[in-house]
Amino acid sequence: MSEITIFQPVHPGWAGEVSNFDDSYERAVTLEYGLREDRPRRRTHGKAGPSRRCAVCGETEPNVSFKKEAHLIAACLGNRSLFSFEDCDGCNATSGRELEDDLGKMFMAQRVIGRVRSRDKTAKLKRPAGLSSIGGGPFDAALPVVLHSDDDSVRLIDKSDKSVALSMRVPGFRPMRAIRSLLRSTWLAFDAPARQRHPWLREIAIGAIGATKPEYFEFFLGGGAFEGVLLEVWERRQHNTVVTSPLVMRLAFVNTILVWCAPEPEGLMHTPSLLPPIASTRPSGATYIQLLEADAREGSRTMTYTLSYTSRTRAPADGTLAKMPRKVTNPPAVIEFEWSGGRASLSTSIVKWNIDSQRPYFELRGGALTGRLAVQLRSEKRATFRFEYDPNLGTPADALATHQFLSALGGAGVFRLINPQTGNPLAKIRKDPGARDVQLPNICGFLADLDCINRSLNANLKVPAPPSELPVREVALIAAGLRTGRAAVTPDSPFVVVMPARVARELLSGKPRDLRASSDFPWDVLGAKLDVGPSRIYLAAAEPRDPLAVERDLRDRADDDPIGVELECSRVVHEFERWLPSNAGSSRFESVVSET
């Protein structure tokens, strides 16, 4: 077993003996993800479901929306794995605009050297209108370095033993804004008890409060880079007697470790603190940084790395650094399954194949196939079918066709792989029932309804990616309205209806009554607003959910004053004027309500 070396950093202001860090702190947050995964595994933190609440601003739906993907750690640090349910669109946009740009610039050199993913391939450093650059391209390829005599922002000096000194001019940034982005990630990762213990952390993260002279530490590790990103947070133990920071955050990224020790909530002053040990030899560089003010800016600076390499490629004569490999196009294919009850087919592409082996194998992806199908041939009559069903990858029509194909594939029949250009079969397998490794969700009705809405309203709705909940009830209601002009549902929650005060008084004076409401508002479905035209809503056997609350609200109100009332009813009927047949007639309900 190899020996692990531990380095214990010490705060420059610490006096006396350095006690054990774990005796004074307990771990509160651990977030980690890889930087080299071809298909990063997604994990989403926080509470989902109806009436979602934003952990940053505290607002709930429908006052705020949660339509966009919210990264738990900023995407500029290569995060394609960790997301949050509790970051509303407005707060997420504010963070991206005000904090994440500084975070990306703070670690620009590390992102480039570490070949960290960006929105487009990997991070690239190039001045505006500059001629020299570093980075870009795929993360598993060689590091591109472009040098130009008229632009010295990137310099390369050859050294002995297959190494070079690579210098780059990195942009300026505001350190505390970058750290606030990480503190925001910490707050989103906190559970409810931790948020109750440290409510001041949210105030620092959003910039409402902060230390007058913030401080932090940077440690640079030579000899390699981390394969993943690790964000850790420790909180001071409840019965700890050592005077130290209430909260310590540490980020390990590429070859750099950043440590921030929280100021005391009362007074917001930094004091000398214990620092977490590092499982490494002594870092090649360690820096204690104290800012003169909370929004201080670190200017542009030059950073130099010594890099070892195995081989170098010189630029070709046309001036480009390296020729891009010829793009390989996956050959198109059609998969067909024929059984006693019929035939189903899908167009797709062959992404992997090995027909010449003893156990031939091919893999299909893309096109109308929403997922991945892998087929391992054992003999003409025996094969293993493995499938990943991802209905969110295509249109609802494609997802439905894929679902139906796979459902049929569970039985006996003949599977064919066909060349669409010639119509000739590339493979033919007689399949026994049950030789299929996939569990299909029961969403055929939802997919058919979603496709009906798309075709009828010229919309582009798609199945939301997991773990988002599917709006099955809402979509089914609109689809039923499109087909017949009318849809009836049994409500599972009260309806809020705006009505004249006189109608509300009538509801308090007698038995449940049938009401009619009208609306011309668009319907919000999966982030899109659908214009369904004027509609009527009929509430059967409606009565106030809380009569006492309605009675209080009615005080000092004139008969024509509007008032919102929560109603419980036995049945709700929606009628859409645009799609209602001319001879359908109207439902008979006595009382009329102006609008919902």
Q: Which distant-in-sequence residues (6+ apart) come within 8 Å of 59 by Cβ?
A: 53, 88
**What is the structure's pLDDT at 356?**
53
| CA R_g for the chain | 31
Q: Which distant-in-sequence residues (6+ apart) come within 8 Å of 210 by Cβ?
A: 176, 204, 268, 294
- Under DSSP, the state recorded for 146 is E
Beta bridge partners of 246: none
- By DSSP bridging, strand 513-519 and strand 591-592 are parallel
Read off the tokens for 593: 């309500």
**What is the structure's pLDDT at 269?**
92
Q: Which regions of the chain are under pLDDT 50?
A: 1-3, 316-327, 435, 437, 586-596
Separation in Å, CA 122 to CA 76, 115, 125, 210, 217 = 10, 6, 10, 33, 27
**What is the structure's pLDDT at 323?**
39
**What is the structure's pLDDT at 362?**
83
| Spatial contact of 152 and 174, defined as CB atoms under 8 Å apart | no
**What is the structure's pLDDT at 381?**
55
Q: What is the pLDDT of residues 348-398, one digit of tens each?
A: 998 877 655 556 778 898 899 998 888 887 665 567 888 888 888 889 999
* DSSP SS3 for 480: helix
* DSSP SS3 for 474: helix
Read off the tokens for 123: 């991070």
Percent of the chain with pLDDT over 90: 35
> In degrees rounded to 5, what are phi and psi of residue 234?
-120, 145
Q: What is the pLDDT of residues 308-356, one digit of tens each?
A: 777 766 654 444 443 333 445 688 999 999 988 899 999 999 887 765 5
What is the model's pTM? 0.55
Handedness of CA 445, 448, 454, 460 (dihedral sign): positive
